[in-house]
Structure 1
Amino acid sequence: MPDVRLASSQGRWILLTTVLGSSMALLDSTVVNVALPAIGRDLDADLAVLQWTVNAYMVTLAGLILLGGSLGDRYGRRKIFVIGVVWFAVASLLCGLAPDAGVLIVARALQGVGGALLTPGSLALIQASFRPDDRARAVGLWSGFGGIGAAVGPFLGGWLVDGPGWRWVFLLNVPLALLCVPVALRHVPESGDGRKHGRFDVLGALLGAAALALVTYALIEAQAGGVTVVLSAVGGVAAGVAFVYVERRRADPMMPLDIFSSRQFTAVNVVTLCVYAAFGGFFFLSVLQLQVVSGYSALEAGTALLPTTVLMLLFSARAGELGEKIGPRIPLTVGPLLCAAGMLLMLRVGEDADYVTDVLPALLVLGLGMVALVAPLTATVLASVDVARAGLASGINNAAARAAGLVAVAALPLLADMGPEAYRSAEAFDAAFRRAMPWCAGVLVVGAVVAFATVRRPDPGCRRPECRRFAAVSSPPLEGEPTRGRLS
């Protein structure tokens, strides 16, 4: 039975450890986009390299995050968390020292492996360490500090890029890890789940990651054409089919397919795919638009996006409460439509764009849409399955969002006819950006239609999420112990 009090010295150290660890991954998801133009200039890289700089990390993270959580249950959550922090820091160091684009992309993929080990563990350590009556407050503090990190991330990333250089966006993780690891080893108690004795679904995890990687490669390189692209697309589809076959046949799958027998769970995950595909494409391209076309510095571009995060920090909890009163259908319909309107308003952002009159209105509308939908979406995911599988449902939803984002980053430049050198030309990039935003808005409208047609109010008494303040834009929050269920 967990027996640590939040008010105790050990409790504060545990909270610090989990905040530091999760902040490494959270900062990475918010600052790297700001650095992309500088990375491209320094490494003389084309647009495909910038896409892979984002997606190499997302491929391994999305493919392995469920497996990473189950490793913590089996071998010790603190142990796997610490390994993840060290792994992430070493990969970050390799990113910061990368002499060329190839090394950077490989290092980013390794970063994703570290992220898959530490991300599930940070919140699971809180759940496993604190007394039940302190747990909700500890999760709230962890979430609040994480939100502050998400708000500071773009500002910090822009300052680093304009100052010491883009490499420090990655090197910053090293001192965080040097602080986090000894505190974790000294103050965080080990925990695990001795009841779990099944086999790890390593094959399922590898097939899932392979499907994402091959499809991503085919989309990024599609404009070049050739046999390799065709083989990658076919291989990606084959790996996806094999993943479904393996998960259906295994006695202890990483992702039990019977969880999708819940119509509500399936519907909300379709909405998740639409919403986070649009978010992934928007935040990838908008930072480039502000720097390449509007002439913003990295610091100005990173700071420009803060309103969305601030709005989520301030109002997500209230949006969650409203969703509980009126049901999720209206928030999950209106939220994507507001986000779509915000993205279409970004079409006003061009050369010499004024922040107050051109950029800010779009981000405020987008932020209000995100506030309306993210908390109710998470609550609906958890309420659509049995309490015992809430963590599993949250983990699947989180992985789906990340997968949607990486596919969008790969596909959107292709759909918008954005050439490999487009980001070097303000005129060419602006034209492609104006073709891309309607695609993002259209996907959000599809999500709104799906939500309106399929999402219904959960049964009374369904599980409510403990994490009520959301600021990350790359994925919905993980709930508690994301490996609860048949994950190991």
Structure 2
Amino acid sequence: MTRERSGPVLATLCVAFLMTMLDTTIVTIALPDIQHRLDASLTQALWVVNGYTLVFAALLLTFGRLGDRYTPRTVFLAGLATFTVASAWCGLAQDPVQLIAARGLQGAGAAMLMPQTLTLITTTFPAERRGFAFGVWSGVAGLATVAGPAAGGLLVDTLTWRSVFLLNLPLGLIALAAGHALIPRQAPRRDHASGLDVVGMLLSTGGLFLAVFALLEKEWYAGVLGLVLLAGFALHQRRRQTGSPLVPFELFGRRNFTLMNAVLMAALFATVALLLIYTLYLQSVRDLTPAEAGLILAPPAVATLLISPVMGRLADRVDPRLVFPPGLALFAAGLLLLLAASGDDTDVLWLLPGMLLCGVGAGIVFAPANALALRDVPPALAGAAAGVISTLRQVGTLLGAAVIGAVLRAGSADGYTDAMPAAIWTVVGVLVLTAIVTVRTRPR
């Protein structure tokens, strides 16, 4: 692909990715308005968020692999169309049940398109420009973190909650037209030995759905059943390796792929923990408004947005051992700076250096990890690899919220600030352990 054409293609992929990321951050700010205008219960309002997350996480593996079979372009465009139509349905919903159903369809569309963005970057960008492309892609997540709450608050204040979803219509239609015109066509692969792994799809989707449901709703019986299904899925995949498995085990035989997934999970665990801990601290302890808290939480996302493309350019030019331990260490150091500045009456501006350091550390890690994870994956397995990466990203995110939430609840009897050290040291431990593993395992 020529340099002139690769830029618009990357922009198209990033707009689609941004839409899926925004819809995990922008909707939360609209929940009170949704409750009021649709007369929704608190449980129904929470399921407006959880319904999207559940379906999204459960279907990533399946649609990642379907991209290998039917081409990433086809699945990407189908997912983008589904997401856009579902957004219109969300914006026009007349009651909570309709809105929750539409959010589930949105989650399915997001699961279709997100792995394909990774696959298309891998298969359409030459090696010398792939790192930069992954850097821009990674920076979009930082942009969504900053823009989501701010844009959501502005839209809800000036219009209504419906505008949060209807915003996706022009973006989706533009991205659809651009994707159809710009993304190169590929012939579908028909060389899979045993056709679609339908049993694997059902087991993985059911297992992931129940496991995520357990994390979101604290229904541990669902977690046990989910783990049973996932264990059955693993056994089924072991038998399918000579045919057409949903998850080719040879991916995990590639050191870079396995190690970088661990790095990404740890970094996402830490990012979600940072946002959770300090959103609660700033609003519950320091009595800041959501807008004021958002400004304090903006530096990590802005730093990630700015640094990721730069680090992406360096991804293929430097020894990975020179990238990941320092990045993870900076993230951990930023958290410790934050802890030192988190008193009951200290000036909240003292939090900014720690926030900035966390963002720099995350920016150093995300783009090279994405690029390195997919660098040695053959094109025939790119979709499966992207599905695994996308799924494990969600797992890292959900574990961050679940584990740190549990630590905060367990230690908050004597006050929230008394519970914060245990939560932050838990995250620091995860980051330091991951840094040690990257040094000892030596990515290449």
Aligned AA for 1:356? L
C-alpha displacement of 1:83: 2.6
Task: Tell me the TM-score normalized by structure 1.
Answer: 0.73
Cα 1:448/1:59, change in 2 over 3 Å: farther
Is contact 1:14-1:188 (8 Å) kept? Answer: yes
Q: Does residue 1:45 correspond to 2:42, yes or no?
A: yes
The 1:391–1:332 alpha-carbon spacing in structure 2 relative to 1, beyond 3 Å, is farther
**Which amino acid in the other structure matches residue 210 of structure 2?**
L
Where does the alignment leave 5 or more consecutive residues of structure 1 unmatched?
223-228, 459-488
Following superposition of structure 1 onto structure 2, how do residues 212-361 of structure 1 map, counting pairs within 5 Å? 212-222=208-218, 229-250=219-240, 251-320=243-312, 327-347=319-339, 348-349=341-342, 354-358=347-351, 360-361=352-353
**Closer, same or farther: CA 346–12 of 1 in aligned 2, 3 Å:** closer
Check 1:60–1:98 CA distance in 2 against 1; reply closer, same or farther (3 A cut): same
**Equivalent position of 1:191 in the other structure:** 185
1:359-392: per-residue Cα shift (whole Å, max 9, x none)? x122112012112322332344235656765665
C-alpha distance after superposition, 1:237-272 (max 9, x if no partner): 101101111211121112112322334543333333
Please, which runs of 5 or more residues in structure 2 have no aligned partner? none
Distance in 1 of aligned mates of 2:86 and 2:277: 25
8 Å CA contact 1:293–1:351 kept in 2: the answer is yes
1:237 partner letter: L
Structure 2 residue identity aligned to 1:291: Q
> Residue 449 of structure 1 corresponds to which residue in structure 2?
436
State how far apart, in whole Å, the 2-side matches of 1:16 and 1:385 are. Answer: 24
For 2:92 and 2:410, the matched residues in 1 are separated by 29
Q: Give 1:206's aligned residue.
A: 202
Matched residue type, 1:254: L
Counterpart contact for 2:281–2:416, Cα < 8 Å: yes
* Pick aligned residue for 1:111 from 106, 112, 115: 106
Q: Equivalent of 2:168, from 170, 173, 178?
A: 173
8 Å CA contact retained: 1:91, 1:107: yes
SS in 1 for 2:395: helix
Matches within 5 A, 1:17-28: 17-28=12-23
Distance 2:359 2:22 in 1: 19
SS in 1 for 2:365: helix
Q: Is 1:95–1:107's contact at 8 Å kept on the other side of the alignment?
A: yes
Deviation at 1:16, TM superposition (A): 5.6
Cα RMSD for the two superposed structures: 4.2
Look up the match of 1:381.
373
Instruction: Summarize deviations over 1:404-442 as a string: whole Å, max 9, x none.
Output: 2123323432332279xx9xx9x9666655653333333
How big is each residue's C-alpha offset from its partner over 1:3-35, in whole Å with a ceiling of 9 and x where there is no partner? Answer: xx5647xx8875664443233113224434555
1:362 corresponds to which letter in structure 2?
G
For 1:388-407, what aligned pairs fall within 5 Å after superposition? 389=381, 392-407=384-399
Deviates more, 1:366-375 or 1:17-26: 17-26
**Equivalent residues of 1:32, 1:54 under 8 A apart:** yes
Is 369-378 or 189-198 further displaced after alignment? 189-198
Map Cα deviations across residues 78-137 of structure 1 (whole Å, 9 max, x no partner).
Answer: 543333123213333454566777665554433221111222344656777x79699769
Give the match's secondary structure for 1:305: helix
Q: What is the rounded CA distance, in whole Å, between the counterparts of 2:90 and 2:285 in structure 1? A: 27
Instruction: Map 1:152-163; keep pairs closer than 5 Å.
Output: 152-163=147-158
Mean alpha-carbon deviation: is it higher for 430-439 or for 257-266? 430-439
TM-fit CA distance, 1:306: 2.7
Q: How far apart are residue 323 of structure 1 and its match?
A: 6.2
2:259–2:443: 8 Å Cα contact kept in structure 1? no
Partner Cα separation in structure 1 for residue 316 and residue 130 of structure 2: 18
Instruction: Tell me: CA distance 1:80–1:378, structure 2 relative to 1, closer, same or farther (3 Å).
Output: closer
2:83 matched residue in structure 1: 88
- Deviations along 1:267-293, one digit per CA (max 9) or x if unpaired, are 333333333222233334433443344
| Deviations 1:28-70 (CA, angstroms, capped at 9, x unpaired) | 2443455567778885537x975x6555434433332343244
C-alpha distance 159-217 of structure 1, shift in aligned 2 (>3 A)? same
Q: Which amino acid aligns with 2:221?
A: L
**1: CA distance, partners of 2:439 / 2:349:** 33
For the residues of structure 1 that align with 2:68 and 2:421, how far apart are their CA atoms?
47
The percentage of counterpart residues that share the same residue type is 35
Q: After superposition, what is the alpha-carbon deviation per residue over 1:281-315, rounded to whole angstroms, capped at 9, x for unaligned?
A: 33344334433443333333334333223322333
Greater helix proportion: 2
Change (3 A) 1:138 1:208: same
| Matching of residues 8-157 of structure 1 within 5 Å | 17-32=12-27, 43=40, 45=42, 50=46, 54-75=49-70, 77-96=72-91, 105-122=100-117, 139=133, 143=137, 146=140, 149-150=143-144, 152-157=147-152
d(CA) in 1 for partners of 2:263, 2:132:
30
Measured in 2, the distance between the counterparts of 1:318 and 1:16 equals 17
**Residues 141-163 of structure 1: CA deviation (Å, up to 9, x unaligned):** 97499478545444323433454
Report the TM-score when normalising by structure 2. 0.79
- After TM superposition, give the deviation of residue 236 of structure 1 in Å: 1.4
Counterpart of 1:468 in structure 2 is none
